[in-house]
Amino acid sequence: MESINGRLKGLVLLRPRVFSDPRGWFMEAYNQIDLARIGVDVPFVQDNVSLSAKGIVRGIHLQRAPHAQGKLVRCLRGAIFDVAVDLRSGSPTFGEWESFELSESNHCALYIPPGFGHAFQALEEATTLYYKCTRGYSKECEDGIRFDDAELGIAWPHPPQGISDKDAALAPFENFHPLGPEDCA
């Protein structure tokens, strides 16, 4: 597995070795020991799968303490424009975002630590996303920012569509209370 640090500290793109032959291909999708060697030494306690049509945007989502989540995100089918937003109070890159394309053809995964908001846009029909979380979901701890916030200025590759009522009701970035150290652990 090759690991590539993102521009925003803490983001890690993981490119697995893929072994192909006439029968198909094989890859190791998750190895706790290898992740620990590159500094991602965290327990994953919940796995989630989502299916989205082309153009759908989900996010920007996060959870606050005591259920702040790190995520290991992989696209199993189709492709996504994956976005992580630095929301850590005091971070030199607070309010900045970085994007990655994750797809069934590049097999890459992205580790997003606690302290970041997460959003994605499906780039193909029937895009299937699989992600591991370091803490379970808690409705009381969920938070987020509008996907189309002008101050953040996320450059979605396609006109966003299919926004849930919940995501459409999220507050703008200017009203967001930065994440403290307890929300980033």
Interval 132-143: pLDDT, tens: 999 999 999 999
pLDDT of residue 16: 95
Residue 23 has pLDDT above 90, yes or no: yes
Beta-strand runs (E) in 115-185:
116-122, 127-133, 142-144
pLDDT at 163 over 90: yes
pLDDT band at 151 (very low <50, low <70, confident <90, very high): very high
Residue 36 has pLDDT above 90, yes or no: yes
61 flagged as catalytic: yes
> Looking at the predicted structure, is the pLDDT value of residue 24 above 90?
yes
* CATH of the domain spanning 42-179: 2.60.120.10
What pLDDT is stored for residue 72 in this prediction? 99
pLDDT of residue 185: 87
Query: Quick check: pTM over 0.85?
Result: yes
Catalytic residue list contains 67? no
Q: Which long-range contacts (CB under 8 A, 24 or more apart) does 92-101 make?
A: 93/7, 93/8, 93/9, 94/178, 95/151, 95/152, 95/173, 96/8, 97/8, 97/152, 97/154, 98/6, 98/7, 98/8, 98/11, 99/154, 99/155, 100/6, 100/13
- How far is it, in rounded angstroms, from Cα 13 to Cα 38? 11
77-93 confidence digits (pLDDT tens): 999 999 999 999 999 99
* List 61, 67, 107, 118, catalytic entry: 61
Indicate the domain borders of the chain: 42-179
DSSP state of 149: -
Which one from 67, 111, 118, 131 is the annotated catalytic residue? Answer: 131
pLDDT digits (tens, 9 = 90+) for 37-95: 999 999 999 999 999 999 999 999 999 999 999 999 999 999 999 999 999 999 999 99
Please give the pLDDT value at position 86. 98
Q: What are phi and psi of 165, to 5 degrees?
A: -60, -40
- The two tokens of residue 152 are 């953040």
